[in-house]
Structure 1
Amino acid sequence: MSPRRVLALAASLTVAGLVAATTVTPASARSAAGAADPCPGSGAIPIGSLAAAVRSGCSLVGRMVTDGRISVMVPPAGMSVAGDGVGTHGEVRGLTVTNTGTTVRAVRDSAGAVSLGHTTSARRGSPPACKDRTSNLEGPKWKTGLRYHVNLKGLPGRLHQSKVVKQIRKANGNMRTGRNTCGKPRLRTPASVYLGRTKAKPDIGAGGPSCRKGNSQNVVGFGNLPGGLLGWTCYWFFGSRMAGSDMLIDNGPNLVTNLPKNCTNKWDFEGTVTHEWGHAYGLAHSGSGHDNLTMQAILSPCSTYARTLGLGDWIGMNKMYGHRH
């Protein structure tokens, strides 16, 4: 892990859906010399048991906290770790774990979505993209440029490597600059830098999925995500300062770089990755009923609409980074 990701600064995340918050017992009060280890076990901690685990006075750093689907590793004091993604159907909600040094908290994303699948009619029932002002922020943002690598191990053979890298880079630009058809100006998000290919892996477990301790690089990679997920992003931050981000893109049959003429149950690769860059830059889901926005948790198939930001997506990015005049 890089020095940026281990710097122990006080951090606190305030978002809807607080699940657990408890004061940590000082180490001096936990056990007397020679007493039996009061902290047995190293398995995942269910959210419902987190308060009791913290009251035990045991160090939870490195332990996974889980809601039964998503797992996030408890970071060092002063740091928060969050995971969020986008899917084709089902439940898509994020999870954030914050370690302030005296408190460990787990927070579920209250603006996620539960759906059996999106159709054209669902988008027709939502406000047009350039009329929908809905936006939600995760809290942190980048103070300096986001520098990232791409790991193509696990990329399906049906997808061309050069085109995939090109669309990952374009998707970053879509979100970073605020590409839109609503007449809004270019954003002033700090410049990103593509650093090329890498063998380093995103510190994301595909099963679940899970966010782990982080590594020294920001990496976009590929893996077999569960439950209809198209992409998943984990990010590490100190208070309002984003420190790192990894992204895992599903390598199943759903994503394509070119939508077929007679499209059925295929999702746009560039639009999906644009959504995931939104999480990496600090955007949360827009919530149900906003199906024409890029940051809707469930994307509609057979459309490239998510490549361009809706008004609410642009407003959210503008709140964090401002725009050019």
Structure 2
Amino acid sequence: MTHDGTGVTVPEPGMAVTIDTLTTDGESHGFTLQVGTDGKVSYGLKDTAVDASTDGYDRPGSASPDPATDVPAEPDTVVDPIDTAEGAEVADVDAAAAPSACSDGAYSTKDQKEYGTYNWYVGDGGMPGGLSRDDATWAFMDAINNITDSHNNCGYSDSVGAKENYPANTSREASINSSNRCTGRDELSVWDGGDLKSGVVASTCSYTWAMPGVKNDLREADVRFNTHDYDVTNKPTSSCSNKYDIRSVGTHEAGHVFGLGHVGSGHSNLTMYTNSFTCKTIARTLGKGDVLALRSIYEEEHNEPVGANHASVSRGSHDDAGCGLHIREQQ
């Protein structure tokens, strides 16, 4: 099935598949298709352009935080990691017109949650920006940890229980093709680079088990950067020109993996804004709405202390995964 420049392969009964895209036009593209246990197919096309213009927008199945008791006061000075790189003027104007990251409580969430540990692999496709596999792995890991650790400059503590684990490389590739379609579930969550449709910077394909009454259970999520049409950099500098920051894009995509949706016009200082600006690192650091969205999904009582190792909990056998176990201890 295709819609609005994106597509999915219909999954097996009891499963849902969601495609989310980060585009150069700043529009939200993507949708969810679910197959009931009786084989009935349903899809939520109306949810593809949600713009959370007020504080929060949540799907059923998660509790909302109490702003009176759970939100720290906005600091007198908010330091956002915004580069003054060449070619970023449009981003500066847009960001200046929007609320600061630490005062904007807008968010949306999907019908999706990682109840256990998100085990992810670095694939066999090309790496963004021509990075080595090792350098790309560290960049991906930092991006994912920005989400699981609630990395922010707003004074919010990490009360999000989301977990991740990187076991190894794999010979497989992310199951997303050049037509920007999720091609099917192979029980392995893979991050890599490859050819996507022009106008798409990166895409995430997520597969979930239907969970009536609560958010669907994440089973697999692939992420692919568009290395055919766009270039990325690992470290934007003053000489940066027309390159996307790999960690900013990766943090945005990791937000989708862990159940966050897009916010649109007027919220450009948030990580989950529909657009990603070249030569900018602001999306590496979560804003108020991004943190509240994560808190609305992941309950505090399920947290492990920051710094604890997250052991791998595999949901299947992956004989073709690369050798060696590389578990990063969170800092």
TM-score by length of 2: 0.73
Q: 2:176 aligns with which of 199, 204, 207?
A: 204
Give the Cα–Cα distance (whole angstroms) in 2 for the partners of residues 222 and 68 of structure 1. Answer: 22
**Aligned residue identity for 1:250:** N
Greater per-residue strand proportion = 1
Distance in 2 (alpha carbons) for counterparts of 1:90 and 1:183: 28
Q: Which residue of 1 aligns with 2:227?
A: 251
For 1:104, which of 37, 41, 45 is the aligned residue? 41
Q: 1:321 aligns with which of 286, 289, 298?
A: 298
User: Residue 167 of structure 1: SS of its match in structure 2?
Assistant: helix
1:278 pairs with 2:250: no
**Would you say the 8 A contact 2:128–2:226 is kept in 1?**
no
Q: Which sections of structure 1, spanning at least 5 residues, go unmatched?
A: 1-64
Contact kept in structure 1, 2:120 and 2:190, CA below 8 Å? yes
Tell me if 1:73 matches 2:9.
yes
1:178 to 150, 158, 174: 150
* Superposition deviation, residue 122 in structure 1: 0.8
Q: Which has the higher contact order (CA 8 A, sep 6+)?
A: 2
Who is 2:102 aligned against?
130
Q: Secondary structure at the match of 2:21?
A: strand
Partners of 2:90 and 2:107 in 1: CA distance: 20
Secondary structure of the structure 2 residue equivalent to 1:296? coil
Task: Please give the secondary structure, in 2, of the residue aligned with 1:306.
Answer: helix
Which residue of 122, 126, 134 maps to 1:154?
126
C-alpha contact 1:120 1:300 (8 A) present in aligned 2: no
Does the Cα contact within 8 Å between 2:122 and 2:191 map onto a contact in 1? yes
Residues 213 and 160 (structure 1 numbering): CA distance in 2 closer, same or farther, change over 3 Å? closer
> 2:191 matched to 1:223?
no
Describe the shift of the 1:285–1:273 C-alpha distance in structure 2 as closer, same or farther (beyond 3 A): same
What letter corresponds to residue 247 of structure 1 in structure 2? V
Give the aligned residue type for 1:133. G
Contact 1:82–1:95 (Cα < 8 Å) also in 2: yes
Structure 2 residue identity aligned to 1:110: A
Q: Which has the larger radius of gyration?
A: 1
Q: Does the 8 Å contact 2:129/2:232 carry over to 1?
A: no
Measured at CA, do residues 302 and 321 of structure 1 come closer, stay the same or move farther in structure 2, by a change above 3 Å?
A: same
Root mean square deviation, CA, Å:
2.1
Identify unmatched segments of 5+ residues in structure 2.
53-88, 211-215, 306-331
TM-score (norm 1): 0.74
Partner of residue 232, structure 1 = 203
Structure 1 residues 311 and 217: alpha-carbon distance in aligned structure 2, compared to 1, 3 A threshold:
same
Q: Aligned with 2:19: secondary structure?
A: strand
> Judging changes above 3 Å, is the alpha-carbon distance between structure 1 residues 90 and 226 closer, same or farther for their aligned structure 2 residues?
farther
Structure 1 stretches of at least 4 aligned residues deviating more than 4 Å after TM superposition: none
Query: 1:139/1:303 Cα in 2 relative to 1: closer, same or farther (>3 Å)?
Result: same
Q: Distance in 2 between matches of 1:68 and 1:132?
A: 28
Distance 1:112 1:199 in 2: 38
TM-superposed deviation, 1:314: 0.5
Q: For the residues of structure 1 that align with 2:149 and 2:176, how far apart are their CA atoms? A: 26
Alignment map for 1:80-119 (pairs within 5 Å): 80-89=16-25, 91-100=27-36, 101=38, 103-108=40-45, 109-111=48-50, 119=91
CA contact (8 A) 1:202 1:218 kept: yes
Overall identity of the aligned pairs, in %: 28
Matched ranges for 1:267-306 at <5 A: 267-306=244-283
